[in-house]
Structure 1
Amino acid sequence: MCIAAFAASVQFQVEPVGRWFEAFLKRRTRNVSASFRELEEEKELSEESEDEDLQLEEYPMLKTLDPKDWKNQDHYAVFGLGHLRYKATQKQIKAAHKAMVLKHHPDKRKAAGEKIVEGDNDYFTCITKAYEILSDPVKRRAFDSVDPTFDNAIPSKSEGKENFFKVYAPVFERNARYNFDSWREFSYLDEEEKEKAECRDERRWIEKQNRGARAQRKKEEMNRIRTLVDTAYSFDPRIKKFKDDEKARKEAEKKAKVDAKRKEQEEKERARQAELEAARLAKEKEEEEAKQVAMQAKKEKEIQKKASKKERQKLRTTCKVDFQCICSVTATTLKNAYVTYATTCFGA
């Protein structure tokens, strides 16, 4: 048997259909390698794992709670989430509520032979109220703002000075909720519920009183935060480093300006000295040229003087010779010459 016959391969074009086609579309749309069903299964497993990991703490005071005093109850503790508090997710709150209903619902307890208090006076009302508060983001934020377990303390100056990051890290962590927004508001502590007012004027009065109380508490909270920030700012080593760097930068800029000004003055002084030197050289050159002209004139004058002296000597010599010649002429010769001249000019 020829082995090559088994080695030959045939290509087929296959297209996904049914749920495989849906998975193909999801992979192409989401640009992921896992199929849609695999992603859904992974999500379900993750949610189941979160539910399995949720540990609820039994609240021993649950059955003693007074439904009329629901504002003073710890809603997280009612659900067994006192260890998580504001970090508890909505899914965990729903799971805790479901567990509490299955265990404490009046019908369940009545079926087990327990005597149930009729109406809203049963402690199960506290469970319902806790879920109403914690499942609503606005109401939950209002409760978190006045959470009795929230630590308002601010480290002292001596504490922050010794080990800043170790001391202040947990402080900022518990205060920095909702992306450092001013998250605490105090409507949960309103003394009266305006919905119970008998008329519009009474509702307005209640709202005015509550608004003033909230504003005062908000002012106190802002003062607390401002004190925290100011104290941390004064001891944060990074701030000190920023200030030192800024100071060094400013000093460097100042020094650079002084050096630049000094160099500018030096350049101006060099230019001024160069101008003075050029003027001095020009003056010296001018004086030297005038000196050369004067010397040349003097030299020419000396030459003329010598030439004039030489000419005078020559003339003096010539005149001396002529005089000697004249003196050597005899009187007879002079007389004959005179007679000849007179005869020629006047006749005999």
Structure 2
Amino acid sequence: MAVLTAEQLSEPLTRLRIGYDPALVPAGGAEVIGQCASPLADAMPSNIEAAGRGFHEKILIKTGAFASREELHRSQSAARLSRKASVASFQSDADAQENDPNYKGPKPDIKIGTMVWEDHYDIMGLGRERHLADAEAIRVAYRTRSLMLHPDKLITPDTTEEEKERLDDRFKALNTANELLNDAKKRRVYDSVDAPPTKLPMKFETEDFFDKAIPAFHSLCRWFDGKGDAAKFIESDPDAPYEKVRKMYEFWAKFKSWREFPHEDEEDLESAEDRWGRRQIEQENKKKREKSKKEDTDKIKRFVERAEEKDPRVIKKRMEDKEAREAKKKAKGAGKREAEEAAKKAAEEEAAKAAAAAEEAKAAKANAKKELDKQKKALRKEKARLREQSARADGWVGHPGEDDVEELANSFDVQRCDEIKALNDELEANENEDAIVAVLTRELAKLEGAKSEERKAAADAAAKRAEAETKEEQKSAPWDDEDEIKLLDKACNQKFPMGTKDRWERVAEYVCEHGARPRTAKEAGVKPTGDDYVKFQAARDKKGSAEVKDAATERKDSFTDVDVKMNDPNAWSQDQTKALAAAIEAVPKTAAAKDADRWKMIATAVPGKDAKQCFTRYKEMKEAHKAAKA
């Protein structure tokens, strides 16, 4: 290449090249002898070279693209405004939503309480796909948009602070949308509020079923909370087999929706200080959503029931089943049908009678209860009245005292309400305290007499029971077997001597185990009789009749370590109990001046017992009688 002259260097740009002198090239190398050729070489000082944005501006002006620097700046400002107004101005994708002639811009913000959702799908460029966008579509959309909307690519030296803030906010919104759409839980909530309210037809008829019900089923598929596609359980064919239709309604009867219903009073999870607080907020928010969730579930359930009711295929099947039943019923014959109808009618009449009887019994029971409550109320009133009348003579000589008056009042029941009323009338008519005391003493004497009769009856009943038990014991099998008598003797004198715990039970068990007949503890305690026992006793006495020549030794210690219980001195025999009952009846309360003298008189008629023991026994018998009566 020849060395360029100064005239050649000033020629048009297409002919400019790097100049060099071959003579000056050193051995094995090259040496630059001039600077790069430049279309601005003649316009710039020799020691200054244009570069960067200034270089581009001067080139555009020199080539005639713009007449002046001011015109160039006006064009650049217009380009920036166009870029701000539409993403399409810097987006090369012809399929983007902003290039769609039907694009109407983002949806308005969704506000529920303090919660606000922007149109995240529109921010991501997925305004047309929305809830149908999968994870891959979201990933690609975010990558594309982040490259186009990054502030570093849009901010210029002439960008104002307000514009910078707007670009930053737009990029932050893009990141927020990407984060929400990649969080399954948050996206479910957003999709729930982004979608319109569930609108299901409830008033369609059979002829409208396929036009209204089937599309409604398809609209519910997106909310199916389960595996698989709910759409495969929608049978839109009018001639579909009934078995498929039945399975369809079995599925939709159990359909569960995942749609969420945020409440306007919910708290923000981000305000929780720790995991426990977050869990508490989640639980509270869940409770607030339950009402709307239940309403949506009930709405779907009612729609499914209505659809099944109006489905022509289901109606057809039901009609066929009904016709089959009627045909089968007719086949049985008119006589059997009439008999069944008569039986059914009789059963209905019987049920009606039973219901009427039950209603009458219920009414009678209610009336009886009301009457009883009325009588109880009257009795309580008369008892209070008796206490008031008795209090008029309180402290008077011979007054029986509050305890006896209370006992007298408690002796009256609802059946004797008229008697206590008559007694109160009598007491109220007497203004003299002596007369009141006399009436009370008389009534207490009657009460004591009645108690004596009851005690006597109880004592007679106890005596009869004891006599019956004695006869029952005597009816037991006799000890007429010599071997059995030997077992009894061995058990009593060798195995289980006196003082053994549960002696007679253990004796009976031993005799039963080694003998031929079962024996009870009572039978073991009965003394054997009969010829066999006489022979056994004679043989035992003969065996033990050896002469004893040595003197008997004295035993100073106990022969056994078993404590033998002595007879209880306070125990009462049957005869003593009968004597006590007779004495109490013979010596009434009014016959003695003092209570202590009365019990001394009673004790003289009971052998082996003093007044204190008789009084204690009387109290025991009284408590036992009350317990038995209760």
Query: What TM-score, normalized to structure 1?
Result: 0.48
Structure with greater helix share of residues: 1
Larger radius of gyration: 1
Higher relative contact order (CA 8 A, sep 6+): 1
Query: What TM-score, normalized to structure 2?
Result: 0.28
